[in-house]
Amino acid sequence: MERPVVSGTACDASGAKFTVVGISNTPTTDWARVFRALAGTDLTLAGDAAALTADHGAPGTVPGAAARRAGGPAAAPSGPPRPSMTPPSVLDLNAYLMYAIGKAARRRLTERLAAHNLRLWHLTVMAMVADLGPQMKTLLAARLDMNSSDLVKIVNDLVGTGHVDCARDPDNRRRILVRLTPEGRAYLDLLSADIASTDDEVLAPLDANEREVLASLLRRVHHHLVPGPAGTVHEAARFTEVLPGGSDEDGRIDWTRPAEEIAGFVGARRPPAPSAFTHHAGRRVDVLTATVSRGLYSGEPGHIHHHEDEGVVVVTGADHLGGGRPGLVLHRVRNEHGSEFRAEEYFTAGRTGNGAS
């Protein structure tokens, strides 16, 4: 029995093209109904598929394909798809704008990674191990909200390229840790520099100050929608030389750096240079004074410990060997309204207040 077939091309909202082929064992398949449903999505159909959405003949007929089977001339092509267009009214919806921009940005990032024969998950796994140190596969999968079997495949890919290896934990021989190799760390630095140009492409209409404002707002929205672990301060950036009147963004704290380096960085940020800062509960917090802890602390960089002897301690650095490392003791902070607090007061549960200490 001949199987009714329809084919054509389609474009999604980003302009990416792909082929659409429909095959059915039932000669009475209502292809017009099928492709009318597709046309109601963010796809733009062309060729036989597009022609079928306007076909008024009997269900199951395929205009171009039917003519070809009969030996006659094929239906004239419908031409290139009409340029896609965003309904002006949805441009007032921030949620739609974030969806559309995110989709376009993801496509560009995916293309940049594909040039390196990588996928987004490869980059994410390498970055997580680089930021937090060696990780068990089960913990990596949980932190990335990733299926365990998919995580194993990604790790195996990276082992094959020499970017990571798997070794026994020296403190617990029963555990196998995924570690970034020296070659992998160097490659990640090169990769990060390369794909950073994606930001320049996406944010080309904005100047440097506008990009800083946008980044700060996006981080706050991200924290609202995807909150981090409780009791964690967040933000990561490269330390830069402290210059009088320098960019405010230069003061962002990178908690993956050693405590001694961060303490020196905080101490060097004196007016007129902007203060060192981080974010907590989606809001900016300036760190005014801080010292290196006496004790050693374990956990993710940025995790807050309320230690009886040392006050508010933030975990710093990557724990490559286990056993903990010095943290940063926060003494005095300032909220985004300009009010100063003792760190213990500010980070007490439920108190981020607006009043002066």
The CATH number given to whatever domain includes residue 126 is 1.10.10.10
Query: Is 79 domain-assigned?
Result: no
Task: Give the domain-ending residue among 21, 40, 69.
Answer: 69
- Can you tell me the mean pLDDT for 126-132? 83
Indicate the pTM of the whole model: 0.48
Task: Give the Cα separation of 17 and 13 in Å (integer).
Answer: 10
Tell me: pLDDT of 241 over 80: no
Do 99 and 186 fall within a single domain?
Answer: yes
3-class DSSP assignment, residue 41: coil
Task: Name the residue type at position 98.
Answer: M
Do 40 and 104 fall within a single domain?
Answer: no
Q: Are 65 and 97 in contact, with CB atoms under 8 Å apart?
A: no
Name the residue range of residue 55's domain.
5-69
Per the omega criterion (within 30 degrees of 0), is the bond before 170 cis?
no
Number of domains in the chain: 3
pLDDT at 354: 34
Tell me: pLDDT of 76 over 50: no
Query: Is 154 domain-assigned?
Result: yes
- CA-based Rg of the chain, rounded to a whole angstrom? 27
Lowest mean pLDDT segment, chosen from 47-51, 170-174, 290-294? 47-51
Query: Is 246 domain-assigned?
Result: yes
Q: Most confidently modeled of 32-46, 67-81, 126-140, 339-353?
A: 126-140
124, 45, 131, 26: which is closest to 84 by C-alpha? 45
Query: Is 303 domain-assigned?
Result: yes
Do 139 and 50 fall within a single domain?
Answer: no
246, 221, 219, 224: which is closest to 234 by C-alpha? 219
Task: Give the domain-ending residue among 69, 104, 123.
Answer: 69
Share the mean pLDDT of the chain. 74
Query: Is 216 domain-assigned?
Result: no
- Can you tell me the mean pLDDT for 102-129? 89
162, 150, 156, 161: which is closest to 176 by C-alpha? 156
> At 355, is the pLDDT very low, low, confident or very high (cuts 50, 70, 90)?
very low
Q: Are 189 and 183 in contact, with CB atoms under 8 Å apart?
A: no
Query: Is 181 domain-assigned?
Result: yes
Run of H or E residues at 147: none
Tell me: pLDDT of 338 over 70: yes
Task: Give the domain-ending residue among 69, 101, 117.
Answer: 69
Query: Is 16 domain-assigned?
Result: yes
Query: Is 223 domain-assigned?
Result: no
Do 10 and 115 fall within a single domain?
Answer: no
Q: Which residues of 19-51 are buried (b: 16+ CB within 10 A; e: fewer)?
A: ebebeeeeeebebbebbeebbeeebbbbbbbbb
- Between residues 79 and 92, which one has the greater pLDDT? 92
